[in-house]
Structures are given as C-alpha cells and as structure tokens.
Structure 1
Amino acid sequence: MFFVKGVKTTPAPQQRVIYKRLWGHELKDKKRTETALKAGEDRAILLGLGMVVLTDETTCTLLNSTLTKEINCSYACGSECWRSSKYPCLQVYVSLNATGRVGLLSHNEEMLELSSECFYVPKCQKDHTALRVMLQNISAHLKMHQQVTCYHDPSEHQASILLKRIYGSSTVFHSLFWPSCMLSGGTLIILMVKLTQYLSILCEQIDKAPK
C-alpha cells in the first residue's frame, strides 16, 4: 500500500489576505514617494515664483569656486533599502557688478531649495569618486567664464544669487492667468445657475398668485 504525502497549501482566503497586505505596503510606499516628490515640486515652484518677482538680471564676476566639506546623502538600493554616501559641496562666490555685493551662487531655484551653501546638489549615488569628478568638472567650467549673467534680489531681502532661472515671467503669467480664468468661469456658471433657479421660483410664484 502506498501513501501519498499531501502538500500543505495555503487556503485561498489566506492567500488573498497576504496579497492584499503586500499590495497595500507597495501602495503606501508609492504614495509616500509621490507625496514627497509633490511636496518638493510645490516648494520649488513657490520658491521660483518668489524669485521671479524679486530678482533682477545683472552681471556677476566669479571670485572663487572650490570644493569644501563633505555632505552626507542617501540613495535607494532596493525596496525599503537605503545606503549612505557623500559628495563634496561646491561653493561658488561671485560679486555683483552693479553693487559690488559678494554672495554665494546657486545653479537655479531647485538647487537653492536643496542647499543654500552648495552651487549644485548632485543625485546621490554609490560612487563617491564619480560625484567628486563631476563637481570638479563643473567648477572648472565655471572658472572658464569669469563674467556670467546672474539674478539677484535688488532689495537684498534674499541674499541668494542665481545663475539660471527655471520659472520665467511667462511661467508666472500662465500659472496665474489660466487658473484665474477657470475660477472666473466657474463663478459665472454658479451665478447663472442660481439666477435660473431664482427666476424659476419667481415664475412659479407669479403663476400661483390669484388673478
């Protein structure tokens, strides 16, 4: 007589519960990532809009471009896996030709949001040497151009100086004009609906009034 040893299987309802849990964790991680990215984008947009309003274009003279202290960073190595690395901080000092004020130069609004001291913040990765070489190349390229166009705050409420602007005047116009049009259109539709309701009630009352 032969006995066949059965294989213990997970019941279907239990499998569905496990799958839902795994899928739920993936959705939570994805939502966290999307939320963090959206928050960063919103901060960059707000900062960019502020810099567009408050900054003037001028010419800057490069004074110094050096790699200074090491900055710690972290990069993803898999699902729920993070490892630490570091990159040197590239500090670029410039002088405003119009006023003679000396300040730190940032590449654009996003870099200023990430760090107010470093000119450029690279994407963190395992190869620390590659990050250093990349920043050295950027520094060498900057030294080749002693006079550069830059953007600053003439009222000096913001000490930062930008090399480039992501959000120009046209971006500000479109970001304010089209939402305003949509808001005005939506308000007009609501007013028309309310007016129609009022006229309908008024006509009904007139019809019911004794003649």
Structure 2
Amino acid sequence: MAKIRVSYEYSEAEDKSIRLGLFLIVCGVVSLFILGFCWLNPTLQNMQCKSANCTVISVQQNGEMFECPFSCGADCRGTSLYPCLQIYVNNSESNSKALLHYNEQQLVMNPKCSYIPPCERDNQKNSEKVLMLQGYWTEEISSQSFTCFFNRHRRPDDVLLMNSHDDNVLLHCVLWPLVTLLVGALIVVLTICTKSLAVRAEAIQKRKYS
C-alpha cells in the first residue's frame, strides 16, 4: 500500500509540473502575440525615423490654449490650460519647414503644439513653464543646429526632438515572452524525462528481484 501511495503522489506532482509548464508556454505565446500588436509594430514603424540636422526658423505662441489633466491627490483631479508653443525648424534632409515636437507621445496628444508642460492646477504656472521654454529656444538654441528625427512617410511636416522608441523596447518585447515560453517548455521536458527515468529504474528494479 505504501508503494502505491508514493507512486500516486509522485504522479500527481508530475501532473502539476506539466500543467505549470503548459501554462507558462501559453502565457509566453499570448504575450508575444499581444506585445507584437501593442509594442512591436509601433516600434518597428518608429525605428524607420531618420536622424537629421534641424535649425530653428521661428519660436512663437499661436494664441490658443489647450486643456491638460492634473492630479493633486486621490480626490483632487481636474483640467487646466496651457498656451500652445510652436517651434518651427528647417529639416536638413528634406530642406522643408516642419513643426518640432518633444517626442511621439506629445505629437499624438497634441499635434498642433511643440510642447506639453507637466500639468499644474494653476494655469499661470503652466504658462510660465511654456514661456521659460520659449525663452530657452529663442536665446540658446536659435543659432545652433541640433539632431532631430523624422519619418518622411508617416508625418513629413513634423519632426521629433527625442526618438522615444529604441532597440531596448524591441528587445523587451521579444525577450521576456520568449523566456517564459522556454522556461515552460523546459519544465515540461524535464518532467517527462524524470518520469521516463523513473519508469526505467522501476523496470530495472523489478528485473533484479524477479
């Protein structure tokens, strides 16, 4: 009876290991599928951005005000206003006028403006941040060329100051799901090999005592 009980417990442990391995394999495959649509495709598109030299043409506020959401605590949320700063630059690659944006996220959030400040509850503070940046670009950068990024096919009239997606994002999109998938496969293979060795050892032991 003791031998039967040990064998049953061992078989149950094997089943749990196999189920865990299969669960990890499924998680890895699903993660690859989801990240492929959510991160990999946008990253590959963004990696088509080319670097260029940009020079400032004009720095101005166009008079429009836009809303931004702020949070000052668990029950303190709302929207405030910030002025629209537009920094127009000359793109050396296409030799054309383009609107500069800090990164692609800000471009998507507000394609009309070059900068979205960290949102404060006080509209005046938002205006001061934008005015400070306007002065910096007017006085410090206006006579200098700097590296910018553009995508001729997606947004030929816009350039980015920061290329937010890079090879690291692509690496993480693929690496961690693959690690999960490989660990799951390794657990399943090791469990099957252990079971096979146990069966052989039991058969050899039976031959000895038969």
**Deviations 1:58-100, CA, capped at 9 Å, x for gaps:** 1112222221210023434554343442111112222210112
1:61 — aligned with what? 55
2:146 — aligned with what? 148
* CA distance 1:176–1:79, change in 2 (3 Å): closer
Instruction: List gaps (5 residues or longer) in structure 2.
Output: 1-37
Q: TM-score, normalization: structure 1?
A: 0.61
Identity percentage of aligned residues: 25
Q: CA deviation at 1:124?
A: 2.3
* CA distance 1:207–1:148, change in 2 (3 Å): same
Instruction: Pick one of 151, 154, 157 that aligns with 1:157.
Output: 154
Structure having greater relative contact order (Cα 8 Å, sep ≥ 6): 2
CA distance in 2, matches of 1:100, 1:164: 20
Higher mean C-alpha deviation, range 113-122 or range 174-183: 174-183
SS class of match (2:51): strand
Give the structure with the larger helix fraction.
Answer: 2
Q: Which runs of 4+ in 1 moved over 4 A?
A: 44-48, 194-208
Q: CA deviation at 1:151?
A: 0.9
Q: TM-score, normalization: structure 2?
A: 0.61
* CA distance 1:101–1:206, change in 2 (3 Å): farther
Q: CA deviation at 1:149?
A: 0.5
**Contact 1:60/1:97 (CA < 8 Å) preserved in 2?**
yes
* CA distance 1:56–1:110, change in 2 (3 Å): same
* CA distance 1:130–1:46, change in 2 (3 Å): farther
Amino acid at match of 2:179: C
SS class of match (2:60): strand
* CA distance 1:204–1:101, change in 2 (3 Å): farther
Q: CA deviation at 1:172?
A: 2.8
Q: How many residues align?
A: 166
**Deviations 1:136-176, CA, capped at 9 Å, x for gaps:** 2212222332422011124x124442101334324433443
Instruction: List gaps (5 residues or longer) in structure 1.
Output: 1-43
